[in-house]
Structure 1
Amino acid sequence: MPTIYQVAERAGVSLSTVSRVLNGKASVNRELRERVEKAVKELNYRPNSVARSLANSRTDSVGVLVSELNAPFFGDLMRAIELRLRAAGKHVIITVGRDCLETEKDAVEFLIGRNCDALIMHTEALSDEYLLKLNQSKLPIALVNRQVEGLSEACTTLDNEKGGYLATRHLLELGHKNIAYISGPIEKRDAKLRLKGHKRALSEAGIPANSELILEGNYTEEDGKLGLLELMARDLPFSALVCANDWIASGAISCARDLGMSLPHDLSIAGFDDVVFAHHVYPRLTTVSNPVANMAEMSAKYILNKVYGQPSEITLNFEPELIVRESTVRYEG
């Protein structure tokens, strides 16, 4: 098995130069870096990860905390992080918080116990104060779709209020005036902001928000099905429905079709997130983009820069976009 000494000898450089190249340091000039990389390839050298960890007090692993595993949203998030970190020679350890304070705290303790060099988190339950204290404990953190005062450089965010506004404004522009809404859990920041955007669009159009046309859900397909039935049982007219995510919208579409509705002519439906199945439901779903993969990748880049000295350009604030498909149509009533 080739050693680092043989790599240095083959490349004609010092051991410290080989070490800096293997650890991704930017302080090595291009010619020397290429010589080391060529020697590594020719010798089929594999760095000893344990030795590297002892040498630089790092494990080359990053902890990732997500709310769930069974949703395309979090699949896209984890994939983007893993791809970016793996390309940089780092590995991820993933755990789940389920939006529960104690479970999220336990997950963080688990990752700390695995000697992760940093944490990337999509968290709702952990308080700002807890996150600030965690970051101050010399364990760098990055937050996906969360803004914490004092951690602005570590936070990627989406303008959720604008996203909710865009969906409802689109329906208003199509002539709809009676627009129902199924939100996510109101205690969640993104759900609260999306509903706020919905109400702003109505207000700008001179239409008061009717609380009887607003339901709170839990971001599930079942909420879309039961929510549509509940709204119809209230016997109030509505020609369009905005859903706080695509799962809710998918459930509403399924329920509407089971009831014999002709979509979108009997009911226009819009979602939020633009997950993969939004292209495949019938009719194809009008929705608002949520670039979670881009936000997650930026969080990974931030950690690579902060912890491993691998600089790259980072974007922290993201804008949603309306994606118009066939589930919404001009109101002719």
Structure 2
Amino acid sequence: MARSNNMQDDAATPSDSPSQRLAVAGPPTIRDVARLANVSIGTASKALNAGGRLSKETRENVLRVAREIGYRPNDLAQSLHRAKSRTIGIISNDSFGRFTFPIVEALEERLAEEGIAVFMCNATDDPARERQHLDQLLGKRIDGLVVTARRADKRPPIGPLAHGLPVVYVFSQADDPGALSLLPDDEGGAVLAVAHLAARGRKHIAHVTGPEHFEAVRLRKTGYRAALAEAGLPEIDGFYLSGVWSEAWGREAVAKLFSRRERPDAIFCGNDQIARGALDALREKGVSVPGDVAIVGFDNWDVMTLAARPPLTSIDMNLKALGREAGDSLLDMIAGGANSGVKRRPCSLVVRESS
């Protein structure tokens, strides 16, 4: 059998350097594997599919090159090919599901309208597990990927590992200006909450919230301050308290606020758990809600809001709307559309007896 000067079928000469192996433009193909492993396409195919009679060295060299450039035999390099699988993947680190479930429910409903099925994987904040799930999803020849989380802070982009696969981040954002991230408008939600309290005649509005290393906390603080300024209300020293996401912190924060000479007549809480704790503490002190102090939470989690005494006014992040938009965006990207940037969607105010 004739052989070319730079290709061979049963032996392999490694490429010049690791950096040369990684010099692949676009989604890697079997041609890239063959070129960088210095073998024919036929030999590369045999090595990747565990077929043919090849030397151990040749097979290992081909597999090593494929790993280095991220080639997988089942990857679909063209969106036309991808569309045939009619499936998408979801990777989440929200093991509790408080934020993911409404998003995924709406996403699945939207994709089902187009006859597309969903594979969901839980990465639990473990990069190695996330990579394993991604490998498995790519092996299933998914058409696109949705990445979601239990918090909306920035994370490393998954895009480079997906080799051109359409990816949408929802209630999650990639540290990549070329990625599409769909998020609730935390700052706007805080403005809604404080403006509502001001419209009810409250003059001394405190803000009790979670840890400041969360982007949502910082954005809600910005909204709180902006709404106070817009209403012409003072930003009182000591009325902003940052702690943890828990009912215990809500109770502790009320104790701090009521140990002061100047006390609040309203409290905007960073989530519904904090608000529930604040309600309990006020009731124990004999403080009337909303008569003496009005309370507004954030998340509109019915487990918390409807069981609160009194039922809790809260900001709804409209997670189902985010999930449906994620589905629309992914379908558009699979069809060849371009979509990128951070897009924040409006929250809404759900008024109940606490305010």
| Inter-partner Cα distance in structure 1 for 2:133 and 2:85 | 12
Matched, 1:106 2:133: no
Q: Pairwise CA RMSD of aligned residues?
A: 3.3
Report the counterpart of residue 293 of structure 1 in structure 2.
320
8 Å CA contact 2:152, 2:216 repeated in 1: no
Amino acid paired to 2:148:
H
Report the counterpart of residue 122 of structure 2 in structure 1.
95
Amino acid paired to 1:268:
A
Task: Name the SS of the counterpart of 2:258 in structure 1.
Answer: helix
| Inter-partner Cα distance in structure 2 for 1:96 and 1:222 | 29
Report the counterpart of residue 158 of structure 1 in structure 2.
184
Report the counterpart of residue 170 of structure 1 in structure 2.
196
**Distance change (3 Å), C-alpha of 1:66 and 1:180:** farther
Report the counterpart of residue 271 of structure 1 in structure 2.
297
Task: Name the SS of the counterpart of 1:78 in structure 2.
Answer: helix
Residues 231-250 of structure 1: pairs in structure 2 closer than 5 A: 231-250=257-276
Residues 93-242 of structure 1: pairs in structure 2 closer than 5 A: 93-97=120-124, 103-116=125-138, 117=142, 118-123=144-149, 127=154, 130-131=156-157, 133-134=159-160, 137-146=163-172, 150-151=177-178, 154-242=180-268
Amino acid paired to 1:74:
T
Report the counterpart of residue 3 of structure 1 in structure 2.
none
| Inter-partner Cα distance in structure 1 for 2:251 and 2:161 | 41
| Cα distance, 1:146 vs structure 2 | 4.9
| Cα distance, 1:198 vs structure 2 | 0.4
Task: Name the SS of the counterpart of 1:115 in structure 2.
Answer: helix
8 Å CA contact 1:82, 1:92 repeated in 2: no
Report the counterpart of residue 303 of structure 1 in structure 2.
330
**Distance change (3 Å), C-alpha of 1:214 and 1:147:** same
| Inter-partner Cα distance in structure 2 for 1:182 and 1:195 | 10
Task: Name structure 2 gaps, 5 residues minimum.
Answer: 1-73, 338-342
| Cα distance, 1:240 vs structure 2 | 0.8
| Inter-partner Cα distance in structure 2 for 1:239 and 1:200 | 19
**Distance change (3 Å), C-alpha of 1:64 and 1:240:** same
Amino acid paired to 2:299:
D
| Cα distance, 1:175 vs structure 2 | 1.9
Using structure 2 for the length normalisation, give the TM-score. Answer: 0.64
Task: Name the SS of the counterpart of 2:99 in structure 1.
Answer: helix
8 Å CA contact 1:67, 1:96 repeated in 2: yes
**Distance change (3 Å), C-alpha of 1:69 and 1:267:** farther
283-292 or 222-231, which moves further after superposition? 222-231
- Per-residue CA deviations over 1:81-112 (Å, capped at 9, x if unaligned) read 33334453312223144xxxxx2533431321
Report the counterpart of residue 83 of structure 1 in structure 2.
109
| Inter-partner Cα distance in structure 2 for 1:307 and 1:181 | 43
| Cα distance, 1:188 vs structure 2 | 1.9
| Inter-partner Cα distance in structure 2 for 1:135 and 1:308 | 21
| Cα distance, 1:173 vs structure 2 | 1.8
| Inter-partner Cα distance in structure 1 for 2:123 and 2:261 | 41
**Distance change (3 Å), C-alpha of 1:289 and 1:105:** same
| Inter-partner Cα distance in structure 2 for 1:155 and 1:75 | 18
Report the counterpart of residue 253 of structure 1 in structure 2.
279
Task: Name structure 1 gaps, 5 residues minimum.
Answer: 1-50, 98-102, 311-315, 329-333
| Inter-partner Cα distance in structure 1 for 2:309 and 2:159 | 47
| Inter-partner Cα distance in structure 2 for 1:156 and 1:114 | 25
| Cα distance, 1:238 vs structure 2 | 0.8
Task: Name the SS of the counterpart of 2:157 in structure 1.
Answer: helix
**Distance change (3 Å), C-alpha of 1:317 and 1:196:** closer
| Cα distance, 1:272 vs structure 2 | 1.6
Q: What is the aligned length?
A: 266
Using structure 1 for the length normalisation, give the TM-score. Answer: 0.68
| Cα distance, 1:234 vs structure 2 | 4.4
**Distance change (3 Å), C-alpha of 1:138 and 1:246:** same
**Distance change (3 Å), C-alpha of 1:122 and 1:225:** farther
8 Å CA contact 1:85, 1:92 repeated in 2: no
Amino acid paired to 1:108:
E
8 Å CA contact 2:209, 2:242 repeated in 1: yes
Matched, 1:324 2:346: no
8 Å CA contact 1:268, 1:327 repeated in 2: yes
The structure richer in helix per residue is: 1
